Amino acid sequence: MTAHDTALDGRRQRSDDVLTNTHPALRRCWHPVARSDEVGAEPRRVELLGEPWVVFRGGHGLVAFADRCPHRRAPLSLGTLEGDVLRCAYHGWCFDGGGRCVEIPALGAGAAIPPAAKLRTPFAVAERLGMVFLAPEEPLVGLPEVAEDAVEGFARLELVPTRARVSAGLMADNFLDFAHFPFVHKGTFGADEAAEIHPYEVEREGQGFVLVYEHPFANREDPAVATGTRPLVQTRRMTYHYLVPFFLSLKIEYVEAGGVNTIGFFLQPESDQSCRVYTTLWRDDIGNGVTDVEAALAFEQRVLDEDLAVQTRYDELSLPLDVRAEVHTRADRHTVELRRLLAEFVATAAPGENP
């Protein structure tokens, strides 16, 4: 083997040590596939980990199947729901809520149904936080929780989901990272952010972590600043929660002005080239005349667009799991922990996939 061949082999080994949007380990997780109000009695096609699924609401609640009829592999999302029965649009085969074929029109009434005429189902489908979640195989991590969703006084605001050519792992890394605020978000909130990151601690919680970071910022939205009641520079407390693989939330507390804004960030890895991004806000200042809902949503969309302007330009849509593959500093402590948690999860969920 030549030195050139050895170098190529080394690169191949290192390329295995990354998390792509369709990594086999991700089949052992819950993933969002739609907003709750996007799923009704009409079959809806969604894509997850490079595989199409059909989801709808039947008589027994949420139902999901692989989006492929076992007869001629036609997309079942082209079909119709007749009561609790899903009828394929190609040859009219009918399937009940459990995926069992109950009618083949071409064979006539009372004909025997081939045992193999059944649909493949995911391990489970569920609904939480205003979203529909799907687990292709038995999940090793639970569904996400956001405490503010159950607290009286908090309104839930939802951005329209965004589809983009991004890596789910890199988008999770981006959401957690606050060192990029002064540079990426100069057009929204980052103009007054200090670039220096002070020391902070990361605390593991099961298959995730939490960190709290306080820093000064210019609160230009506080009406009391204009009257001189409060100073322009105030304190913001940020509490990040992360859960494997791509469930993230940021609770922002305005210490002097009061008020809480929690941002939920949920990623649907559709294919190696695409993710659907869900952003949800929980705010306790809606309805008091201070916060305009449309303005709040539009602002958060602008923030996301600033992030996407960077993330969509990456050549390699994958997250390195080997911490030696990148240069890290003390300001990256929590995003290094993200990589470690995902590497541990991959080693458990898909042993042998990574060196």
Q: Taking 70 as the threshold, does the pLDDT of residue 318 lie above it?
A: yes
At 288, which amino acid appears? N
Do both 122 and 160 map to the same domain?
A: no
In a domain, 141, yes or no: no
Radius of gyration for the alpha carbons in the chain, expressed in angstroms and rounded: 23
Structural domain count, the chain = 2
Do both 172 and 128 map to the same domain?
A: no
Do both 123 and 226 map to the same domain?
A: no
Q: Do 41 and 59 contact (CB within 8 A), yes or no?
A: no
In a domain, 324, yes or no: yes
Band of pLDDT at residue 59, cut at 50, 70 and 90: confident
Band of pLDDT at residue 2, cut at 50, 70 and 90: very low
Do both 115 and 157 map to the same domain?
A: no
What pLDDT score was predicted for residue 288? 54
Q: Do 46 and 33 contact (CB within 8 A), yes or no?
A: yes
What average pLDDT does the structure give for the chain?
A: 90
Do both 273 and 330 map to the same domain?
A: yes
Total-model pTM: 0.90
What pLDDT score was predicted for residue 215? 83
Mean pLDDT score, 331-349: 96
In a domain, 162, yes or no: yes
* Angstrom distance (rounded) from CA 283 to CA 148: 8
168-176 vs 333-349: helix axis angle to the nearest 10?
150
* Angstrom distance (rounded) from CA 338 to CA 321: 9
* Angstrom distance (rounded) from CA 217 to CA 220: 9
Do both 221 and 287 map to the same domain?
A: yes
| 37: three-class secondary structure by DSSP | helix
At 263, which amino acid appears? I
Q: Express each pLDDT in 76-90 by its tens digit.
A: 999 999 988 999 999
Q: Which domain holds residue 40?
A: 30-135
Do both 193 and 73 map to the same domain?
A: no
Q: Taking 50 as the threshold, does the pLDDT of residue 211 lie above it?
A: yes
Q: Do 119 and 95 contact (CB within 8 A), yes or no?
A: yes
What pLDDT score was predicted for residue 303? 94
Do both 172 and 82 map to the same domain?
A: no
Under DSSP, the state recorded for 201 is -
* Angstrom distance (rounded) from CA 145 to CA 73: 37
Do both 36 and 125 map to the same domain?
A: yes
Query: What CATH number has the domain bearing residue 330?
Result: 3.90.380.10
Mean pLDDT score, 59-65: 91
Do both 274 and 335 map to the same domain?
A: yes
Do both 92 and 207 map to the same domain?
A: no
Q: Taking 60 as the threshold, does the pLDDT of residue 15 lie above it?
A: no
Q: Taking 70 as the threshold, does the pLDDT of residue 263 lie above it?
A: yes
In a domain, 8, yes or no: no
What pLDDT score was predicted for residue 352? 55
What pLDDT score was predicted for residue 224? 87
